[in-house]
A and B are shown apart, each in its own frame.
Chain A
């Protein structure tokens, strides 16, 4: 006999000021089941989580947790019945110790006014025992690596006698090895009869960890069933609503021997990375992948002058180049699309216009720094049309765009400079599948025009299908280089090797 249903959602509707965010969604999770919720950005995943957590009570439909209806659905009632949400930002206090982070919510919830530190430590130990991990209790959480912070968040959630733990995109900031650790923890929880709702858009993980799967699109449930009934293609198609072409990028060297655009020789900024040498020919898309902490981002920042390299040399079109600042990198024709769109990329409250021209201010500036607004407007209009950015006009603030459109604005900003070398760091993180494909097509087109593209990513399918060469960075050094015949399996094998030798 299968275990009883723990959570049942029936025909849930939710509207926000005219937007129909959820349109009759059903979802059911059994005790001890690992259930995945997949969908593009804006498909209603987050809203659905918040309905379950009681943050957004539904307008229509029934929420049944632990065998009886919730009426009304409130955060407190949801928690009381054993629902715990681990948000993407973990909701931890960086300045407080691990022990206090683990115990504080509990203290507040129980209405305690006086803090007994012995009790705090006892609670903390108990919490860590649940996930069978050891963490330094007195260390401030801010000093822990991301994966450990996540463990703290999970352990804390379990303190509330959780029977359903909802994890919102839990693997975004984790390395491959840490993801494995997380999966072990999830397995343990499952064995104890705790249900997990795993929200993700990383298809491989979805397939790996879950037993059942629910896919949302535009606020409606479009597919549901045992995970074994799905594969990557069918999930993608369900998420996007159209079939996805899966073409691999092929690099063809042009006629005649063209000199390389970028030559990097022994580049280093110890301890982040050292002795990195590679070259990129015109028209190539070279992938650089590696675990978090492999020096990947630092290398990119080195090429862009934000964290200048201390050793080695860079040649651009055969000319030696010293990159000591962003200005120098830009002047030489190197552009960098940063990792985190919201904090490092966009000026959210400013117009699309200003967001795009931000990188070409020197070009637009004439005498005494006066800007050529006529030219700026022309440029911006062109980019909006060219990229198909969905917006009524260029004066709309960037924050009103969807994630995919925001990423297009960022790309436009950098392409407006017509760079020789385009460095992208995780260009499709948090971007819906449709935009992702558009961005990939764009990169290929750029390469075809002779631009040198350097694609840094830990999204292996992305790297494998879009790059004609892949460099693997490990502990700050180039560990391996693959040609376009590389497969995800090969890369994964090398990652595993890394994990083995790193031996944390």
Chain B
């Protein structure tokens, strides 16, 4: 029990439950299965993004370019597959989106790993460059008609029950994809030498080099993986909204950052878990989606996002500064 109380994840879970109860009290509609499953579905995109950002934060950096990677991936993929009236399996679009993500990730990886530049500022540049690229050289129009496999995917469910006269409740496939990727990331971080290298890098760069790791390899992997996840998340987003909008997603990086930080990843590196991140994502999703249930107008959204991010970074620090040992 003592050990549980020291785990950051425990507190996040408590806050998540507490907040949910609060919302449920104000508006009982919150606890309907339908709403809960909708929440899960809408957590998938932020969730997949956040798995990538988790790696970056553990390694001691901050990346904000992933939404732009998502946009490029979703736009080009949908443009292509709608254009050819694609009819086959949905796996191919996913493959393409992930591939585009990896490609753009490799640009980040090259600049960051080769020139040892700070990720945040690099990603500020690539964020603008990636999105600007689409809008300048491809198109600025929204793709309204997705290809059939994408539409099918948007209606797909991983699990459904009820029916037979009653309402049908179903969990969207995206939730499954998120879970799957979370498990993959967890295994990667916990059971591979590469994953431990990410933690090592965030712990002590010099020691990582001396231990025999190739730092550029670890960094390259991180940004390729971020790109991979961002491509998938972008495509899923387009399926959820059933359109390919080149102006979407950019702006969500703050929600994602807040989720990962709430989940216990430490800015400065070395710490963070998949479980914590998933809980952080759920917490952020519940907060964002509950504003309406609580009767707060939507134009409060941005203010709330900002406040949540600040509270998320200040709170653990207060605990840290209060701890007995001097600075």
Contact = CB atoms under 8 A, between A and B. Distances in A.
Nearest to A103: B196
A105 B212 CA distance: 7
B204 A92 contact: yes
A91 B211 contact: yes
Given A93-B199, A93-B207, A114 B271 contact: no
B193 A94 contact: no
A298 interface: yes
A115 B192 CA distance: 5
Interface centre among B195, B196, B206 (most CB of A within 10 A): B196
Interface in A87-116: 87, 89-96, 100, 104-105, 107-109, 112-116
A107 B207 contact: no
A115 B196 CA distance: 8
Given A93-B203, A93-B204, A95-B199, A108 B270 contact: no
Contact of A96 (B190, B191, B199, B206): B199
A307 B191 contact: no
B212 A112 contact: no
Interface residues of B, number: 24
B19 interface: no
A308 B61 CA distance: 35
A109 B190 CA distance: 18
Interface residues of A, number: 23
Contact of A94 (B195, B197, B203, B326): B203
Interface string B183-220: 00000001111111101101110111011110000000
B210 A104 contact: no
Nearest to B200: A93
A386 B192 CA distance: 59
Given A91-B207, A92-B207, A115-B193, A307 B326 contact: yes
A298 B207 contact: no
A96 B58 CA distance: 12
Contacts of A92: 204, 207
B193 A112 contact: yes
A94 B270 contact: yes
A438 B257 CA distance: 54
Given A94-B270, A307-B326, A108 B204 contact: no
Contacts of A94: 203-204, 270
Nearest to A107: B193
A248 to B, nearest CB: 35
A272 B325 CA distance: 10
Interface in A268-287: 272
B326 to A, nearest CB: 6
A113 B193 contact: yes
Interface centre among B193, B197, B269 (most CB of A within 10 A): B193
Contacts of A96: 196, 199-200, 203, 270
Contact of B326 (A87, A109, A298): A298
Nearest to B272: A95
B202 A95 contact: yes
A381 B199 CA distance: 48
A486 to B, nearest CB: 30
B203 A109 contact: no
A40 to B, nearest CB: 25
B175 to A, nearest CB: 28
Contacts of A107: 193, 196
Given A95-B271, A105-B210, 15 more contacts: A89-B207, A90-B207, A91-B204, A91-B210, A91-B211, A92-B207, A93-B200, A93-B208, A95-B202, A96-B270, A107-B193, A113-B193, A114-B192, A114-B193, A272-B326
13 contacts: A91-B204, A94-B204, A95-B271, A96-B199, A96-B270, A104-B211, A105-B212, A108-B197, A108-B211, A109-B212, A115-B191, A272-B326, A298-B326
Interface of B: 190-197, 199-200, 202-204, 206-208, 210-213, 269-271, 326
Please provide the 5 A-B residue pairs with the shortest distance between their CB atoms, ordered closest to farther: A95-B270, A93-B203, A91-B207, A95-B203, A108-B212
